[in-house]
Amino acid sequence: MANAQSRLVVISNRVAVPKARGVAGAQGGLAGALNAALKDRGGVWFGWSGQESEDRTGNMDLQRNDGVTTATIDLSPRDVGEYYNGYANSTLWPLFHYRIDLARFENRTGEGYERVNDRFAESVMPLIEEDDLVWVHDYHLIPLGERLRSRGVKNRIGFFLHTPWPPTRLLTSLPFHERLVRTMLSYDLIGFQTNEWLSSFVHYCETELGAEVNRETGRITHEGRQTIARAYPIGIDWEHFQAQGDTGEARNAGQRLLASTRHRTAMIGVDRLDYSKGLPERIDGIGRFFDEHPERTRDLVFIQIAPPSREDVQSYQHIRGLLEQKTGQINGARSEVDIVPIRYVNRGYSHAELYGFFRAAKIGLVTPLRDGMNLVAKEYVAAQDPDDPGVLVLSEFAGAAHQLGCDGEGAVLVNPHSPDALAGAIRKALDMPRDERKRRYDAMIGTVRDDDVRDWTQRYCTDLAAD
């Protein structure tokens, strides 16, 4: 039996190697929380190095930085193509975000996905000691628990899904869907971001597998094995993010943004370049707002920061071109010699710089079509001036809406599929009086501050350690 002092073995697709103590820009967010848990408990973080190699000897790179041990392996180009770009990001990712139209179902990539999960299991086995807690993360490694069990691992093994879980009727479009879900029931504890995703998973287990479910305890019984499934909404690293606001880097970033707005209200969006984030739909909504209120190009400027991601996947190349096209059309129609309504920035920024941008922007536009949680929404709230806060416009389909919607007293919730709804929400935020902005901020800040990522890590590990 594992106990509260058990070592922790974290397994994820990629590994965040911690920087030396005191280095500026040290990790926050999930990486920071997992590193903190590993330092507290001892253990190891295992995953893919991000490098490609044809080396089949199973060589592993072990490093120890700031009290945390990391272990990484390379993958072959074939593995990356079939497991990562293929099944994980061209099949499961779109399906889990309700985009069955973009999902590609190919036996070859499915076989690659299983092959890499087998390799992960074989490679990490020697690192697992008796009584270790094993915590597997995300859709890349769904079958890993079952692969470890088949090799005799009897430790407590947990799994956390950072994406949504789709409704049963969507999931059954996946070839071998029963096989995939059955592997999940090898875990002792399965975590989801929200009760909505949890309910979808439980519904599948009941209707497709005939499992027995106790909804009060989250216990799922299937073929003599019991698994617990619960919701654990993730938070930001509050202390780390607030510390960024005290840096010169954050202050300079905010001042740069304000100096460039020419006295217009800054509205900001920060998202990976991903079709789940609803970026083309967002631009359509902004275009609708300027169509209805052309004079307000002198009141509002929108800054979209969209770092590229998964550039080897064809659907991501398409969305980048579409976003550039839509942004260019609006700017071509609405720009003046001294103003441009939309700034599209295809690069990333540090946490400190983002804090400064969020603080300076009086509207945060976070409108994914579907999102497991969306921590940008929480970071935007965390960066606001309590005496003069900005307004968060948030998709009702983001996991964060369950916490930040606050019965109409928190974020302005919006349907991101509707250009008219987006245009209306932008106008509401732009014209919102200060007392209402403060009231909405006060409704959100408590959960952003108190339900942070370290609390999330502790709650999950405590439940995993319990029988």
Q: Is 371 a catalytic residue?
A: yes
Residue 354 zone, left/alpha/beta (φ > 0; ψ -120 to 50; rest): alpha
Out of 188, 274, 371, 452, which one is annotated catalytic? 371
Structure token digits, residue 366: 């976070």
- pLDDT at residue 275, rounded to an integer: 87
Which of 135, 117, 122, 86 has the alpha carbon at shortest distance from 179?
Answer: 117
How many other β-carbons are positioned within 10 Å of the β-carbon of residue 54?
9
Contacts of 55 (CB under 8 A, 6+ apart): 74
Structure token digits, residue 404: 């930040």
Q: Are 144 and 138 in contact (CB under 8 A)?
A: no
Contacts of 248 (CB under 8 A, 6+ apart): none
Q: Is 435 a catalytic residue?
A: no
Tens of pLDDT, residue by residue, the chain (467 residues): 455 578 999 999 999 775 543 333 334 568 878 888 898 889 999 999 999 998 766 689 999 987 889 999 999 999 999 999 999 999 999 999 999 999 999 999 999 999 999 999 999 999 999 999 999 999 999 999 999 999 999 999 999 999 999 999 999 999 999 999 999 999 999 999 999 999 999 999 999 999 999 999 999 999 999 999 999 999 999 999 999 999 999 999 999 999 999 899 999 999 988 889 999 999 999 999 999 999 999 999 999 999 877 666 666 778 888 999 999 999 999 999 889 999 999 889 999 999 999 999 999 999 999 999 999 999 999 999 999 999 999 999 999 999 999 778 999 999 999 999 999 999 999 999 999 999 999 999 999 999 999 999 999 999 999 96
Q: Name all domains of the chain by residue range, CATH numbers in brackets.
A: 8-235+453-465 (3.40.50.2000), 246-450 (3.40.50.2000)
- pLDDT at residue 66, rounded to an integer: 78
Residue 67 zone, left/alpha/beta (φ > 0; ψ -120 to 50; rest): left
- pLDDT at residue 210, rounded to an integer: 97
Contacts of 372 (CB under 8 A, 6+ apart): 161, 162, 163, 164, 193, 194, 197, 399
Out of 162, 188, 274, 451, which one is annotated catalytic? 162
